[in-house]
Amino acid sequence: MIARLLFMLAWCHATTAVLAQTPDHAREKRWADEITPAILVGDAVYLTQKSGHKFLAVHAPNASGSKARAGVIVVHGMGVHPDWNLINVLRSQLAEQGYATLSVQMPVLASDAKGEQYPALFPDAAERLQAAVTFFRDKGHRKIAIVSHSMGARMVNHFIAVGGASAIDAWVSVGIVSPSVYLQPERFKAPVLDIYGEKDFPVVLQNAAARADAIKRIRGSGQMSIAGADHYFNGAESELTRHVKRFLDNVTR
């Protein structure tokens, strides 16, 4: 009886662990229902994964009406949505400044999930990023860049490492939160801008030198810190966008 009880407890624990690593589609839907009526720049579109799951993205063409310099996939951080604060500013202002943007809902866990649980979602994230690339290719964009923040930057790093390197022409990694340096930087084919806030999270600041070293041999790449900015660039969103645009203008000619 005791052995059976122990087995059942272990099974329940293992099952709960697996479920905890499954994307929370219900939470994604709640986000979508909340934000889509309030979108001011761009339109809601839905992309489809191999499983049939449809996920939200917000598409904004070049506001001038002319052909965009490039399509920019915008990737949010842990547990938020494609029109969240900083992401809204990036996707909206870049669309006003010559680019088409597609801000993508990345997989999320429950609101109380820890960052160390998110790597289990990286394969799902890579599939979504590939769907975003395909969306822009289908619209005729010759060049595609990615701008990603925090955990979203880790998801993009995984995407690049598992085969996505040839799909993009530039990557802006904003405040990447990682316990180590970039994953497999030797696979990077596009220029990388590593950018972070002067008052960023300690782990971001501590690994800055190692990240700079990892990308220094990639042509067109560089690193910069924005004075006074925190991890979320509160109050510095437009300054961040200005530096992102300058980098993209240089590498997507």
pLDDT tens digits, 4-28: 433 333 334 433 443 447 899 999 9
**Rounded distance between C-alpha atoms, residue 99 and residue 253, angstroms:** 12
* pLDDT at residue 5, as a whole number: 36
Helix 151-159 to helix 122-138 angle (10° resolution) is 70
Q: For the chain, what is the domain count?
A: 1
Residues 6+ apart with CB under 8 A from 108: 23, 24, 27, 28, 31, 78, 79, 80, 121
Report pLDDT digits (tens) over 155-170. Answer: 999 999 999 999 999 9
Of the pLDDT bands very low, low, confident and very high (cuts 50, 70, 90), residue 66 is confident
Range of the domain at 129: 24-251
Query: Does the residue 109 lie in any domain?
Result: yes
Q: Read off the amino acid at residue 44.
A: A
Query: Does the residue 17 lie in any domain?
Result: no
Query: Does the residue 5 lie in any domain?
Result: no
Residues 6+ apart with CB under 8 A from 94: 72, 74, 101, 147, 241, 244, 245, 248
Report pLDDT digits (tens) over 106-147. Answer: 999 999 999 999 999 999 999 999 999 999 999 999 999 999
Query: Does the residue 223 lie in any domain?
Result: yes
Query: Does the residue 93 lie in any domain?
Result: yes
Query: Does the residue 19 lie in any domain?
Result: no
Query: Does the residue 11 lie in any domain?
Result: no
* pLDDT at residue 6, as a whole number: 34
Query: Does the residue 64 lie in any domain?
Result: yes
Q: What is the CATH number of the domain that holds 119?
A: 3.40.50.1820
Q: Quick one: DSSP state of residue 175?
A: S
Name the H helices within the chain: 2-20, 25-35, 85-96, 122-138, 151-159, 202-206, 208-215, 237-251
